[in-house]
A and B are shown apart, each in its own frame.
Chain A
Amino acid sequence: MAQRRFARSLAIRHLVCGSCNGCELEMNALAAPQYDISQEGWSIVASPRHADLITVTGPMTEAMRLAARRTLDAAAEPALVVAVGDCASGEGAWCGAGSAGAGAGVELNASIVVRGCPPTPDALREGLRAAATLLDERNS
Chain B
Amino acid sequence: MGDLYRERIVAPEELSAVLDEAMRDALPLGCYATKRTVRTLLLSSLGVLALRTSMREGEEWESLAFRYPFFADHEREMRALQGIELRSSPDIRPLYFRSDAIPEAIVANGKGVSVVVVGPVHAGIIEPGRFTMSTGGESVVHLDAQLSYSHRALEPWFEGQHALALVPKIARICGNCSVARSWAYARAIEGLAGVELDAGTEFARLILAEMERLHVHLFDLGNIAAGAGYGKGTTAALGLRERINQLNRAVSGHRLLFDSIVPGGVSAGTLSDPASARAILREIREDVVRFLDAFFAKRSVLRRLEGAGIVEESLARRFGAVGPSARASGIACDVRALAPYGAYRGFSFAEVLTHQGDVYARTEVRRREIEHSFDLLERALRELEDASLPMPLPIAAPSGIITTVVEGARGAESLSLSLDGEGRVERLHVISAAYRNWPLVTRAMEGNIVPDFPLVNKSFNLCYSCVDR
Contact = CB atoms under 8 A, between A and B. Distances in A.
Whether chain B is bound by chain A comes out as yes
Nearest to A28: B125
A105 interface: no
Contact of A25 (B98, B154, B176, B239): B176
Contacts of B168: 93
A62 B126 contact: no
Interface in A40-59: 44-48, 58-59
Given A21-B176, A22-B178, A29 B245 contact: yes
B454 to A, nearest CB: 12
Interface SS of chain B: helix, strand, loop or mixed?
A: loop
A22 B150 contact: no
Contacts of B155: 98
Interface string B122-162: 01111110000000000000000000111111111100000
Given A31-B238, A121-B242, 6 more contacts: A19-B465, A35-B242, A67-B121, A94-B169, A98-B153, A99-B152
22 contacts: A16-B121, A16-B127, A20-B173, A21-B127, A21-B465, A22-B175, A24-B125, A25-B175, A29-B245, A44-B123, A58-B150, A61-B149, A62-B99, A63-B120, A63-B149, A64-B120, A65-B98, A65-B99, A67-B99, A67-B120, A94-B154, A99-B151
B255 interface: yes
Nearest to B127: A16
B169 A16 contact: no
Contacts of A94: 152, 154, 169, 172
A32 B120 contact: no
Contacts of A139: none
Nearest to A63: B149
A28 B255 CA distance: 13
The 3 residue pairs across chains A and B that have the minimum distance between CB atoms: A22-B175, A98-B153, A66-B99
A97 B157 contact: yes
A132 interface: no
Contact of A29 (B173, B235, B242): B242
A93 B245 CA distance: 22
Which bucket holds chain A's interface residue count? 35 or more
Interface in B199-251: 219, 235, 238-239, 241-242, 245
Contacts of B245: 29
A80 interface: no
Contacts of A100: 152-154
A38 to B, nearest CB: 10
A9 interface: no
B152 A18 contact: yes
B150 A61 contact: yes
B149 to A, nearest CB: 4
Interface residues of B, number: 46
Contacts of B241: 29, 32
A118 B99 contact: no
Contact of A19 (B123, B150, B258): B150
B150 A25 contact: no
B128 A64 contact: yes
B267 to A, nearest CB: 15
A65 to B, nearest CB: 5
A63 B173 contact: no
Given A25-B256, A28-B219, A98 B175 contact: no
Contact of B152 (A15, A25, A98): A98
B71 to A, nearest CB: 23
A98 B125 contact: no
Contacts of B449: none
A68 B120 CA distance: 9
Contact of A67 (B128, B156, B157, B174): B128
B100 interface: yes
B97 interface: yes
Residue from the set A17, A35, A61, A100 with the largest chain B CB neighbour count within 10 Å = A61
Contacts of B151: 18, 61-63, 99
Nearest to A25: B175
B120 A93 contact: no
B98 to A, nearest CB: 5
B96 A63 contact: yes
A115 interface: no
B84 interface: no
Contacts of A67: 99, 120-121, 128, 149
B284 to A, nearest CB: 13
Nearest to B175: A22
A46 B175 CA distance: 24
B148 A63 contact: yes
B463 interface: yes
B464 interface: yes
A16 B126 contact: yes
B11 interface: no
